Amino acid sequence: MQLTLIQLEQRTGDVAGNHDRATAAIERAAARGADLVALPELWNVGYFAFESYAREAEGVEGPTLSAMSALADRHDVGLLAGSIVEDLAASADAGVDVPVDEGLANTAVFFDRDGRRRAVYRKHHLFGYGSAETRLLTPGERLPTVDFEGFTIGFTTCYDLRFPELYRELAAAETTLVLVPSAWPYPRVEHWQLLPRARAVENLVYVATINGAAEFDDATLLGRSTIYDPWGTLLASAGDEPTLVTTEVTPERVDEIREEFPAWNDRRR
């Protein structure tokens, strides 16, 4: 399976432009043979544009994700539509199951090749260090997985990388690939490189981190979107510029490594 991460250029105050750039990048990835495409965290509004969250929030059946669904269907790709600021009340009004019926959430959505919405993941761990996320958003409660092209795919978002117990839950659910849309800023480059690699090694899964390329008033995203295999081997990565990061991944590789090094069999609860 060809996996492509979209390290998207994001501009503050340019939601329409961000949407156009995301659309063009998805189309380029599909034209190059991608089977599965992933966008970063809060790619349309920009993570650090906190004052825009309420204004730009929409339900999971709103215009942004409806457009992403149509793109997945049109180009016959699986699509993790990064995450958006979800208006939980709007989702509830549309009949979508939500943790509470008001407020906002940092919500990632996965679409199948035919545009069907297969999973909704709301970020569990909200970042409070130099961030308004804990004040503005409601944390998620569910940890969905999706079967796609022989993989069982799980999802976490950015700061979730610092909480290994979440990945243990995914591994216990037989997850073989974890997609991590993110908005990780400088200067914590070493943490960004260490944590997803550790999560891959600990759980013998592929981990793909999808970061943005953006400058905000108080922060700059460091890019470096990366795909690690279940040994923690770096398969593909980038610098901090807008780009596509692509590699081949196979579910058989997970099986081979788990058979060769069956660490999970030795766990003591």
Catalytic sites, residue numbers? 41, 123, 158
Tell me how far apart the alpha carbons of residues 107 and 171 are, in angstroms, rounded to a whole number.
Answer: 21
